[in-house]
Structure 1
Amino acid sequence: MSQIANLAREPLILHTPRLMLRPLESRDAAQLLALFGDPAVTEFMDIAPMADLAEAAGVVDWANDRRAHNAGVRWGVRMAGDERLLGTCGFNLLELDRGRRGEVAYDLAQAHWGQGLASEALSAVIGFGAQRLGLHRLEAMVTPGNTRSVRLLERHGFVREGVLRDHGFWKGRFWDQMIYARLAPFD
């Protein structure tokens, strides 16, 4: 394996046959607001549908902070040659010192569901994690009921390891989280 990527310094643009993934930037906030303003997109997420630009800018700031500290990276997902934001995908959490693991997360605008775009983006992120970060373990947290996410993860070789009862608190209540994982090799 080559040297581990420095997330803060490298451009980190990923390409797939149909997509271009670029780390979120402040100029993405308005499009992120439209994405996360849709209740169908945020139904199983730990956020309520967004109502103002400051919330979306806060997500971009969070993503930039993760990247600056080599603790995560969130890419904006776009069709190749088009700047419109279709969704996001990336690592919400990276443990590079004591575990070589990453927690993947993703979302996609409802208009693009069922087209294989989330699968294509996730494949690119998994490849980056294996090749540039040397990850050994990938994890994903899934809110019960999110069958689309479960199917996506299982297609990519993730297995359900268990349920973390009342693991999170958002939208005024506690939520269970199912933990899915996949171990290297990732090819």
Structure 2
Amino acid sequence: MKIIQSDPPNNDICTERLTLRQPEKSHFVALQNIWADTKLLQFIGPPSTPEEVWARLLKYIGHWSTFGFGYWMVHETKTDHFLGEVGVAWQQRTTLPAHGDLPEAGWIFSPAAQGQGFASEALSAVLEYSGSRINSPGITCLIDPSNKASILLAERKGFKKFGTTLIGTNRINAYLRLI
């Protein structure tokens, strides 16, 4: 994967097919659609209320402001259609075994965007961008053991399972990728 362009003033990333943009207020409706889709969230948790989505968006914006990296909103470059989100953030989870002090990668893509390699392309770009900007020896991610597609994506990007943790009552696999 090759980043075609990285725009330092606003940290947008362009790949062959995607434009990854920093989150902004205009992404609220698109995020509401993603975080309300019960089928899409089957491995993540219950749907989010508009208030919870608003708090998530403000968290994303604040993370960029504080740390200079975070979650991007992923758009198909050709159509400007919103596809999902991908990023790396300091989640400050207290339940992660051994590596809870490391940043955590995450991604979610609309059903229409799945199966086309968009998540792989976006995650590659984010890992390339983040690797040189995050002062950390590695990045973690958490994946439900039933989410085979995300497990395969994480493993293809160099994440290795190092344990499990509980989020609520759900046992989740914890993965680590060294930078």
1:4 equivalent in structure 2 = none
2:55 equivalent in structure 1 = 58
Of all paired residues, the percent bearing the same amino acid is 26
Kindly report which structure 2 residues correspond to 1:39-118, keeping only aligned pairs within 5 A, or say none: 39-46=38-45, 48-51=46-49, 53-70=50-67, 73-93=70-90, 101-118=102-119
**Is 2:19 aligned against 1:20?**
yes
C-alpha contact (below 8 Å) 1:29/1:56 kept by paired residues: yes
1:5 equivalent in structure 2 = none
User: What amino acid sits opposite 1:34 in the alignment?
Assistant: N
Change over 3 Å in CA distance of 1:100–1:71 after alignment to 2? farther
User: What amino acid sits opposite 1:119 in the alignment?
Assistant: S
C-alpha contact (below 8 Å) 2:139/2:176 kept by paired residues: yes
C-alpha contact (below 8 Å) 1:31/1:84 kept by paired residues: no
2:178 equivalent in structure 1 = 183
C-alpha contact (below 8 Å) 1:71/1:94 kept by paired residues: no
- Displacement of 1:32: 0.8
- Displacement of 1:55: 3.1
1:162 equivalent in structure 2 = 163
- Displacement of 1:11: 1.1
Output the CA distance in 2 between the equivalents of 1:20 and 1:57. 22
- Displacement of 1:79: 0.7
- Displacement of 1:136: 2.7
Q: Deviations over 1:57-105 (max 9, x none)?
A: 222111112222218511000011443311000013279xxx9942100
Give 5+ residue unaligned stretches, structure 1.
1-8
What TM-score comes out, normalization by structure 2 length?
0.82
Say how many residue pairs are matched: 165
Q: Which moved more, 1:63-72 or 1:75-84?
A: 63-72
Q: Deviations over 1:80-139 (max 9, x none)?
A: 1443311000013279xxx99421000000111110000000000100111233543121
Give 5+ residue unaligned stretches, structure 2.
1-7, 93-99
2:130 equivalent in structure 1 = 129
User: 1:32 aligns to what SS in structure 2?
Assistant: helix
Output the CA distance in 2 between the equivalents of 1:55 and 1:162. 29
Output the CA distance in 2 between the equivalents of 1:120 and 1:168. 28
User: 1:120 aligns to what SS in structure 2?
Assistant: helix
C-alpha contact (below 8 Å) 2:17/2:78 kept by paired residues: no
